[in-house]
Amino acid sequence: MKILVTGSNGLVGNAIHKLLNNSDHEHINTSWSLGGIASHVIDITDNESIEKVIEEFRPDAIINSAAMANVDSCEVERDKCWKVNVEGVKNLVNTCDNYGIHLVHISTDYIFDGKKVGGIYTEDDEPSPQGFYAESKLAGEKVILSSSVSSSILRTILVYGMHERHNIVTFVKEKLEKGEQVNLVSDQVRMPTYVDDLARACISAAEKKAKGIFNVSGEKHMSYLDIGKTIAEHFSLDKSLINHVKTSDLNQAAK
Domain co-membership, 22 together with 115: yes
Domain co-membership, 229 together with 208: no
Domain co-membership, 11 together with 21: yes
Instruction: Tell whether the model's pLDDT for residue 164 goes beyond 80.
Output: no
Domain co-membership, 42 together with 148: yes
Burial annotation 86-110 (CB, 10 A radius, 16+ → b, else e): bbbbbbbbbbbeeeebbbbbbbbbb
Give, for 18, the enclosing helix (H) or strand (E). Answer: helix 11-21
Domain co-membership, 167 together with 202: no
Which residues, 6+ apart, have CB-to-CB distance to 88 below 8 Å?
Answer: 44, 45, 66, 140
pLDDT at 255: 52
Pairing of strands 61-64, 40-41: unpaired
Domains identified in the chain, total number: 2
Domain co-membership, 86 together with 199: yes
Pairing of strands 189-190, 151-156: unpaired
Instruction: Tell whether the model's pLDDT for residue 116 goes beyond 90.
Output: no
Domain with 239 in it: 161-191+221-255
CA distance 139 to 134: 8
- Whichever domain contains 171, its CATH number is 3.90.25.10
Strand partners, 5: 29, 63
> Model pTM?
0.91
Domain co-membership, 209 together with 121: yes
- Whichever domain contains 54, its CATH number is 3.40.50.720
% of the chain surpassing 70 pLDDT: 97
At residue 165 the predicted structure's pLDDT band, cuts being 50, 70 and 90, is low
